Each structure stands twice: as C-alpha cells, then as structure tokens.
Amino acid sequence: MNASSVTELTVVRHGETEWNSIGRQQGHLDSPLTELGIAQAQAIAQAVADERFDALYSSDLGRAMRTAEIVGRRLGMQVIPHAGLRERHLGVMQGMTMAEFQSRHPDDYARFRGGDADYVIPGGESRRRRHECSVAAAREIAGRHAGQRIVVVTHGGVLQSLFRHVLGLDVAAPRRFSLYNAGINTFTVADGEWRLARWGDTHHLKGLGTMDDW
C-alpha cells in the first residue's frame, strides 16, 4: 500500500479542566483548564512538535479550543473549529456531579446508567446520536484531507465513539477501556478502512501528576 494514500488522524482529548478535577459533568458547558490541564496541553505540543501535519481541528467547545490553541502555537498552525467534534450534550445533568444528578433526578440517573444507547437525557441527546455525529465528523475530516496527517483535539465521548467504531464494538456495550486527559491516539484510513494505530499514549505526561479516567 502506498503510504501517501494513508490518512492519519492524531486525536487527543483536551487537558484537565476544573470540573474534571471535581467530577462535575460538562457536556456542552465549559470550565477552564486547570494548571495541570495547561501543562498537559503543553506536553502534547512538545510531543508532536517535530512532526509534520497538514491541519489542526478542534471541537468548538472552550476546553478543547484552549488545548488546541496551545498545540497550534507550537506547530505554527491555525485551529479549525468543528461543532461535530463536541462532547455529548448532557441536558439537565450538565453542571452537576453524578451524586447530585442521582439525588435530584433518580429516574433519569437510573436510565442514564442503564446502558440504553437510545435514551435521551432531558434537554440533551442520546449516546447513539452523539456516536453517529462523532463518527460522521471524523469521516468528513478524513475525507477532506485524504492522504494527509491531521491533529484533532476533542473529548472523551468522541474518542470513545471512534474507538468503538474502528473496532466494531456496539455503542451500548459497557466501556472497558481507559480515556485519559491529553492522551494521544492515532487512527489511520486507507481505502475506506479505519484502523487503530495508537491508543492512550501518555508517555509525554510523565511527571505531571495523575490523569483521571473519564
């Protein structure tokens, strides 16, 4: 296979945010990167600084854009915002911890935890809808940059969807894999076939502190 026909997407999760650090659900809301989150973004930038990329995309949510801007400054690239790379909209849960959500909306908490991929959280969206949007956005970006190397900054839910899509895992199946803030993941596309080349690489974060699982 000609290497020039392979499209490569380096996909990273944003750095840690203040709400990540206390377990508060963000969805389409936002909170600032912590000092650790900024250091994580800088570590991503350092890790990819010597590589050549053709474009830099990011979810248009603030925490991803802030991470992408730090990476972009190091690479000398402008960030292209893409709404399709957003985290799942968590509706009434947004801004709450899971304990608060369980206390205030026990029925919705039970359904959210129940694994039904088609359950639509009030004011939000289903896991399946966000999965489909995430995969569609990645396909669009890959198609737009066929044969090129792209950096994508996004969220844990989007990465989860890409992992499941590429490995053929059901969207409703329990998650038994890790998703780290600022982890580096690589997907390749050749002749329409997606492959996972690297997952959960955190070597560049050594010494920065513990990364909480999503």
Query: Of 8, 14, 16, 145, which is the active-site residue?
Result: 14
Each as own residue / partner, the long-range contacts of residues 89-92 (CB below 8 Å, 24 or more positions apart, any chain) are 89/27, 89/28, 89/121, 89/123, 89/124, 89/125, 89/130, 90/25, 90/26, 90/27, 90/28, 90/121, 90/124, 91/27, 91/121, 91/122, 91/123, 91/124, 91/125, 92/121, 92/122, 92/123, 92/124
**Quick check: is 87 catalytic?**
yes
Query: Of 8, 16, 82, 87, which is the active-site residue?
Result: 87
Other Cβ atoms less than 10 A from the Cβ of 92: the count is 15
**What is the spatial distance between Cα 194 and Cα 162, in angstroms, rounded to a whole number?**
10
**Quick check: is 14 catalytic?**
yes
How is residue 60 written in tokens?
A: 């248009």
**What is the spatial distance between Cα 196 and Cα 214, in angstroms, rounded to a whole number?**
20
Would you say 214 and 13 are in contact if contact means Cβ atoms under 8 Å apart? Answer: yes
Q: What is the DSSP letter of 174?
A: P
By annotation, the residues acting in catalysis are 14, 87
